[in-house]
């Protein structure tokens, strides 16, 4: 994934799921205190693409939310966006 100087995500053909990745990056950056520390890394799997999200120190709790509700909502939105990319995705929040 390539980050532009203004903090936006460049949507190009190098990323396996550009729309899903852009949506995930935007949602997570809007939730955390340190938006510049957010990293989304695509990992190819057998049947699905896994998007691994890494956030800054102390922001993981904000992204996961109470009882994991925020994380589950993020996964739902990103899976819906991935239909535009014609891929199945899983979102994994890495500590």
Which residues, in sequence order, are CB contacts of 86 under 8 Å at separation 6+? none
Q: Could you report the per-residue pLDDT of 46-93, keeping only the tens digit for each?
A: 889 999 999 999 999 999 999 999 999 999 999 999 999 999 999 999
Q: Which domains does the chain have, with CATH numbers?
A: 18-94 (3.30.300.20)
Please state the φ and ψ torsions of residue 3, each to the nearest 5 degrees. -95, 130
pLDDT at 15: 78
Q: Both tokens of residue 16?
A: 């396996």
pTM of the predicted model as reported, rounded to 2 decimal places: 0.83
| CA distances to 4, 25, 62, 88 from 10, in Å | 6, 11, 25, 21
How far apart, in whole angstroms, are the C-alpha atoms of residue 45 and residue 10? 23
- Residue 43 has φ and ψ, to the nearest 5°, of -125, 120
Specify the 3-state DSSP secondary structure of 88.
coil
């Amino acid at each position: 994934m390539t980050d532009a100087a203004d903090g936006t995500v460049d949507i190009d053909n190098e990323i396996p799921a550009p729309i899903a990745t852009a949506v995930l990056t935007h949602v997570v950056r809007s939730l955390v205190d340190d938006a510049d520390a957010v990293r989304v890394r695509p990992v190819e799997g057998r049947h699905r693409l896994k998007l691994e999200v890494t956030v800054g120190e102390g922001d993981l709790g904000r992204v996961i939310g109470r009882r994991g509700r925020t994380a589950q909502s993020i996964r739902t939105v990103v899976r819906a966006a991935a239909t535009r990319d014609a891929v199945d995705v899983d979102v994994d929040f890495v500590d």
